[in-house]
């Protein structure tokens, strides 16, 4: 999980607020499997590719893309996403990502060296977000975007 | 004052005193009944991920946050929701390797300070010396499956949650980062309790029959239920010791972890209002913990929540990637 901006926030927070933040963060936030064991934090990837397939499978969905490299060679990659259940609850449906759409992925490559990566950040080429947060049914309406 | 007037005054005073007392008396909400007369607990009751398993020590025996602390928790949740919305938008920032925010549920802030309500400090009781030794010496000191933090030599180094088998009885109800759906269905003589992750359904007989033979051991145990007033009480035994109780159903550091085959879990389901169900579970395993401990999960009814299938084994690329990643690391 990313905690972008949290260092800055923590410095500004009074002690009581830090306590609350600690309470909230003490809830385990790891997902189904060990990220550190599956992906290599020394191998960041930046991929721009066209969607060829999406696997709506548990425990995690996978987007397949074809990446055209500068020499014209086309390489197929797989990008790991959240579980289909939570993606559906966040409003992501099979219509959200069309075959042939071009997406930009920031992530880390699998430790085994294969063309698989986690999709830490996934956007369309024009900058639109692929996954829109905040529609989580467990978040009260006043917190939704 | 005439005698009659005195009597009227006394009655008036009694009524005046009695009315506020009656008004203050706790109203006991009576749950609806099924057509065959059992309290009706049926519905979708998703878990809420907003409460930590163990209470921060500085809160002592306090079970609820103060108004100020609660307001801070709400503000924190709001900030988190905003950060979740932004954190994967920018493509020029360095991304973290952990699960991205769009994968997770954060839960709704509540006042409850910890899921553990007994012992009164909201913390797990100490392990017995026997359990401590068992955990430390397991598998030649590597620790039980899932506690091993080195490279995985085999699927056996990973716990049964990673392996898409189960989160066990208690793990399946403890709210986690996603897929916290729970459903209760009733039929004459039975209650069915279904958990979305990982795909568990217990069909619990209420007819007083005994447990299966003690030689039969199961991840979800063998459950028998009965009614105590409007509370459904379920006692479960016949557990395997191959499973861990965890906030993640796994056995991570800080979680309750592995138990013995002697484990007994007593669950109490009480519907306290139309849309609220209190779930209590007492964990009794004197071979593992020095005293029993109890959790309380407040479940809120949401019939719009769809409990979706979570058959994860077939799509578990992570297992392959973790093991092949470890082999690739060995080649270096």
First-to-last alpha carbon distance for chain A, in angstroms, is 20
Q: Predicted ipTM?
A: 0.74
Position B26 scores a pLDDT of 58
Residue A15: per-residue pLDDT: 41
Asked if the model's pLDDT at residue A133 lies above 50, the reply is: no
Q: For chain A, give every domain's residue range.
A: 1-30, 35-124
Given this model, what pLDDT does residue A97 score?
87
Nearest-by-Cβ selection for A20 from B72, B179, B311: B72
The series of mean pLDDT values per 10 residues for chain B, 332 residues long, is 54 51 63 97 91 90 95 84 56 48 73 95 96 93 80 85 89 87 97 93 97 97 98 98 75 76 98 97 98 96 90 86 90 84
Find out whether B125 and B119 touch, Cβ atoms under 8 Å. Answer: yes
Asked if the bond preceding B198 is cis, omega within 30° of 0, the reply is yes
Give the mutation candidate from B49, B100, B300 for the A interface (greatest A CB count, under 10 A): B100
Topology adopted by domain A35-124: OB fold (Dihydrolipoamide Acetyltransferase, E2P) (2.40.50)
pLDDT in the model for residue A40: 87
Report DSSP letters for B3-67, one per residue.
HHHHHHHHHHHHHHHHHHHHHHSPP-PPPPB-TTSSB---EE----TTS-SS--GGGTT--B--H
Q: Which residue of B has its CA nearest to A125?
A: B91
**Residues of chain B neighbouring A87 (CB-CB closer than 8 A):** 102
Q: What is the pLDDT of residues A39-88, one digit of tens each?
A: 888 888 999 999 999 998 888 889 999 999 999 999 999 998 888 888 88
pLDDT of amino acid B198 = 86
- Kindly report the nearest CA distance between residue A116 and chain B, in angstroms: 9
- Coil/strand/helix, residue A48: strand
Sort out which chain A residues have CB atoms less than 8 A from B68's CB and list them.
16
Per-residue pLDDT at A138? 37
Shortest CA distance from A107: residue in chain B: B95
Which residues make Cβ contacts (< 8 Å) with residue B217, sequence separation at least 6?
Answer: B238, B239, B240, B241, B261
More confident residue, A25 or B97: B97
Within an 8 Å CB–CB cutoff, is residue A36 touching chain B? yes
Tokens linked to B285: 């395993």
């Amino acid at each position: 999980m990313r905690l972008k901006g949290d260092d800055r926030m923590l410095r500004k927070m009074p002690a009581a607020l830090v306590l609350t933040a600690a309470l909230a963060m003490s809830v385990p936030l790891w997902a189904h499997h060990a990220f550190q064991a599956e992906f290599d934090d020394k191998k960041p990837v930046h991929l721009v590719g066209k969607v060829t397939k999406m696997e709506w499978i548990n425990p995690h969905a996978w987007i397949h893309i074809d990446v055209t490299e500068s020499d014209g060679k086309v390489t197929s990659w797989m990008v790991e996403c959240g579980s289909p259940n939570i993606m559906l609850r966040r409003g992501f449906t099979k219509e959200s990502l069309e075959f042939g759409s071009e997406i930009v992925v920031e992530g880390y490559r699998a430790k085994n060296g294969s063309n698989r990566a986690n999709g830490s950040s996934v956007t369309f080429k024009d900058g639109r977000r692929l996954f829109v947060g905040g529609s989580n049914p467990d978040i009260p309406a006043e917190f939704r975007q | 004052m005439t005698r009659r007037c005195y009597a009227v005054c006394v009655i008036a005073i009694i009524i005046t005193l009695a009315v506020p007392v009656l008004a203050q008396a706790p109203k006991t909400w009576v749950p609806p009944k099924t057509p065959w007369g059992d309290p009706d607990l049926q519905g979708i009751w998703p878990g809420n991920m907003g409460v930590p398993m163990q209470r921060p020590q500085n809160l002592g025996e306090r079970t609820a946050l103060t108004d100020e602390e609660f307001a801070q928790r709400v503000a924190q949740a709001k900030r988190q929701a905003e950060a979740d919305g932004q954190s994967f938008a920018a493509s020029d920032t360095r991304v973290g390797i952990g699960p991205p925010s769009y994968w997770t549920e954060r839960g709704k802030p509540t006042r409850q300070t910890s899921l553990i309500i007994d012992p009164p400090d909201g913390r797990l009781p100490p392990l017995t010396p026997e359990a401590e030794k068992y955990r430390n010496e397991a598998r030649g000191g590597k620790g039980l499956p899932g506690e091993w933090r080195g490279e995985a030599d085999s699927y056996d180094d990973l716990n049964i949650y990673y392996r898409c088998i189960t989160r066990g009885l208690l793990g399946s109800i403890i709210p986690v980062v996603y897929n916290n759906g729970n459903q209760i269905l009733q039929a004459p003589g039975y209650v069915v309790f279904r958990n979305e992750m990982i795909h568990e359904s217990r069909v619990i007989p209420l007819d007083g029959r005994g447990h299966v033979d003690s030689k039969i051991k199961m991840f979800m145990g063998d459950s028998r239920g009965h009614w105590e007033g409007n509370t459904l009480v379920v006692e479960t035994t016949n557990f395997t010791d191959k499973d861990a109780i965890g906030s993640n159903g796994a056995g991570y550091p800080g979680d309750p972890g592995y138990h013995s085959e002697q484990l007994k879990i007593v669950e109490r389901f009480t519907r306290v209002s139309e849309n609220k169900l209190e779930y209590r579970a007492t964990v009794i395993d004197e071979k593992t913990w020095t005293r029993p401990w109890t959790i309380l999960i407040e479940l809120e009814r949401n019939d719009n929540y769809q409990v979706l299938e979570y058959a994860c084994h077939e799509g578990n690329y992570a297992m392959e990637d973790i093991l092949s990643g470890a082999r690739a690391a060995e080649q270096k």
